[in-house]
Chain A
Amino acid sequence: MHRYSGLIIRDIRIALRSGGAWLMGLVFFAVFLSMSAIALGGEFKTLRPLAPALIWMAMVFSLLFSFEHLFSDDAADGSLEHIKLSGMSMNTYVLSKVCAHWLLSVLPLMIALPLTALLFDLSPSILLGLFASILIASPALVCYGAFSGACLVGFKGGGFLLVLLTIPLIIPILIFAVSSVTSFQELGLFALEFRALAGISLIATAIGIPTAAAALNTIME
């Protein structure tokens, strides 16, 4: 447990020291949303119904591009092998990486979410629905991303392939998450979509972490 939290703190320290590279996802998120608003004509009447889908798309893509370096830095500088030699289980390592990544990439997006409500003139209840859907679905996103990231360690130009590998796994999340925002208005957290998202998050954690660990083990065989 101690080593587990130690790894998380180490990751966050490294990220904070890296001169703001971890904030690029947030910048991408903002740019993507402004671009979409401009491309769609900038009328609130047309933007408002599309906003949940657009925000989710921006979320998914800004996260997808961040997974490329989730494990590759550790693999390149040898700390991955060090961790393996120290007798720590790969599953624990992946889990701590995933938690640190959630804190570094999903949490900033959630903090920035109220600002997007201003961009699209969203009502507070829609904003709450978005919060709930991101909170419940983000473990699945991060775990599947970790799996693809682990598969593609040491790849040149793995970014596109990472998107290609992860998108099919993420489609169910996208479907339920976007429609959960509207059902949140009537049913709150009891809407079917939230149960589906919670289920997907559980399955994704159960599959994603061991498979990511297995993929990382193949590097050191």
Chain B
Amino acid sequence: MINFLANPLRFKKFAKVAAPIFGVLALFLISGGLYFGLYNSPEDQLQGHSVRIMYVHVPAVWTGMAAYAGMAFSSLLAYIWRHPLSDELARTLALPGAAFTALGLITGALWGKTSWGTYWQWDGRMTSTLILLFLFIGYMAVWASIDDKRRAARIAGLVAMVGSINLPIIKFSVDWWNTLHQTSSVSMPNAPGLPSSILLPLMLMAFGYTFFLGWLVLNKMLNKIANAKTQRKRSAAASTSLEAL
């Protein structure tokens, strides 16, 4: 599968079919999620209407984490097999991933205001999400500041992989640190125990966000492939016209 898609032509064929499907799925799932989340779900007994924030907060954080995982995985592929497409894929995932992580933090802060009374708590989840955002920013900063593109790809890939190895350690240490301080935490019920009225909009939104990310990334990749092709054509044309002179 991976080697199959490593060829830009085959990737293009796949993306041209998959992108519209992802887009339509994302549209339906997110509008369904919004409908159930805003209009057709009950209030929570403890949290009242503020539980509705969960339907945009949790999917955003999940998608951010999924984007980081995808980034690290495709960096690994790029590192081992040197597929230039997987470098591009990792790079394309970074900005949406950072945006979703930031979105998760903002909505988390607003949710925190309703249940803790403060916008920010040094709660385990929020702290590790913040660190995830720093990792994304560092990754993008490496791409932005190295001129030589091949070297930037290698270094950024290393940064993504080292970060992904460290994420579990960070998560563990922050959770441990958090239990030391005994801060009150948003009672986020575990997924299997949730009533289906809450689970339905949550899942719709989560899958909707994931397909949205897929749609976004595939389209950007298609654009990059097309731009690279015209650039190659243009430079080829320039060199032939030079030879004609």
- A83 interface residue per 8 A CB criterion: no
Interface CB pairs A-B, < 8 A, 28: A151-B158, A158-B145, A164-B137, A167-B134, A168-B138, A168-B166, A171-B170, A171-B173, A172-B166, A172-B169, A172-B170, A175-B176, A176-B173, A179-B180, A203-B165, A203-B169, A207-B165, A211-B161, A211-B162, A214-B154, A215-B154, A215-B155, A215-B158, A218-B150, A218-B155, A219-B151, A221-B150, A221-B151
Beta-carbon contact of B166 and A169 below 8 Å? yes
CB proximity of A86 to chain B, nearest CB, Å? 23
B141 cross-chain contacts in A, Cβ below 8 A = 161, 164-165
Q: Please pick, from A164, A196, A211, the residue contacting B134 in the complex, using a CB distance under 8 A.
A: A164
A221 to B151, CA, bound (A): 9
A147 cross-chain contacts in B, Cβ below 8 A = 158, 162
How many interface residues does A have (CB within 8 Å)? 26
A165 to B154, CA, bound (A): 15
- B142 interface residue per 8 A CB criterion: yes
Q: In this complex, what residue of B is CB-closest to A151?
A: B155
Beta-carbon contact of A179 and B177 below 8 Å? yes
B173 cross-chain contacts in A, Cβ below 8 A = 171-172, 175-176, 196
Q: Say whether, besides A164-B141, A171-B170, A172-B169, A151 and B134 are in contact (CB < 8 Å).
A: no
B60 cross-chain contacts in A, Cβ below 8 A = none
> Contact flags (1/0) for B173-200 with A, using CB distance below 8 Å?
1101100100000000000000000000
How many interface residues does B have (CB within 8 Å)? 28
Which residues of A in the span 29-88 have a Cβ within 8 Å of any Cβ on B? none
A161 cross-chain contacts in B, Cβ below 8 A = 138, 141-142, 145
Which A residues contact B (CB, under 8 angstroms)?
147, 151, 155, 158, 161, 164-165, 167-169, 171-172, 175-176, 179, 196, 200, 203, 207-208, 211, 214-215, 218-219, 221
CB proximity of B128 to chain A, nearest CB, Å? 9
- B78 interface residue per 8 A CB criterion: no
A158 to B159, CA, bound (A): 15
Q: Which of A151, A165, A168, A218 has most B Cβ within 10 Å?
A: A168
A171 to B174, CA, bound (A): 9
Q: Please pick, from A155, A179, A200, A215, the residue contacting B145 in the complex, using a CB distance under 8 A.
A: A155
CB proximity of B151 to chain A, nearest CB, Å? 5
A219 to B180, CA, bound (A): 44
CB proximity of A136 to chain B, nearest CB, Å? 15
Q: Please pick, from A168, A200, A208, the residue contacting B163 in the complex, using a CB distance under 8 A.
A: A168
Other A-B contacts than A167-B134, A221-B154, 15 sampled, CB-CB below 8 A, are: A147-B162, A155-B145, A161-B138, A161-B145, A164-B137, A164-B138, A168-B134, A168-B163, A169-B163, A172-B166, A172-B172, A172-B174, A215-B154, A218-B154, A218-B155
